[in-house]
């Protein structure tokens, strides 16, 4: 762990619409009251994150941005626990009123569940 860099460079982000389309086409899903996460294996040696926080579900921009920041931060800290998968995070309505600690717990469960499910498909 000493040599690991916990930054969030551009190569850890889903960059273009084609990347999102691949994930939405045939994903492995993980859902709870706060988030729906969609994932597929990728051919890279690291995981990538995409965010799709809909204005329809989370009305206020401030709240959407807080949720995005908390998801990015949690992913940044967990990136070395994940396998090479592309993940898209969709926020549900209940995420707007949840505490940051509750969102972190939820995301930790999702990362573990997606890693286990995607490993079994390969």
Rounded-to-10 torsion of CA 10, 32, 110, 22: -50
The reply to whether 85 falls in a domain is yes
CA 32 to chain centre: 13
Please report which confidence band the pLDDT of residue 3 belongs to, taking 50, 70 and 90 as the band edges. Answer: low
Ranges 5-9, 87-91, 112-116: which has the least confidence? 5-9
CA atoms within 13 A on the CB side of 49: 23
Over residues 39-49, the pLDDT tens digits come to 999 888 889 99
User: Mean pLDDT for the chain?
Assistant: 88
What does DSSP say about strands 48-52 and 85-91: parallel, antiparallel, or unpaired?
Answer: parallel
What does 71-93 look like in DSSP terms, one character per residue? Answer: HHHHHHHHGGGS-SEEEEEEE-G
Q: List the domain range (segments joined by +) for residue 82.
A: 15-121
Share of the chain above pLDDT 70, in %: 96
pTM: 0.89
Note the pLDDT of residue 97: 92
- Mean pLDDT (whole number) for 94-109: 91
The reply to whether 96 falls in a domain is yes
- Mean pLDDT (whole number) for 3-31: 86
Question: How many domains does the chain fold into?
Answer: 1
Distance between CA atoms of 22 and 98, rounded to whole angstroms? 30
Top pLDDT among 118 and 20 is at: 20
Q: Nearest-CA neighbor of 89 among 16, 26, 13?
A: 13
The reply to whether 68 falls in a domain is yes
């Amino acid at each position: 762990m000493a040599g690991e860099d916990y930054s969030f460079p551009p190569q850890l982000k889903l960059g273009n619409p084609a990347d999102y389309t691949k994930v939405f086409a045939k994903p492995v899903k993980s859902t709870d009251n706060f988030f729906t996460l969609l994932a597929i294996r990728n051919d890279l040696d690291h995981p990538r994150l995409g965010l799709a926080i809909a204005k329809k579900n989370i009305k206020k921009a401030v709240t959407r941005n807080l949720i995005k920041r908390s998801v990015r931060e949690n992913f940044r800290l967990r990136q070395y626990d994940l396998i090479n998968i592309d993940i898209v995070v969709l926020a549900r309505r209940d995420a707007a009123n949840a505490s940051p600690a509750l969102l972190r717990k939820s995301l930790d469960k999702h990362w573990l569940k997606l890693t286990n499910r995607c490993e079994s498909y390969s």
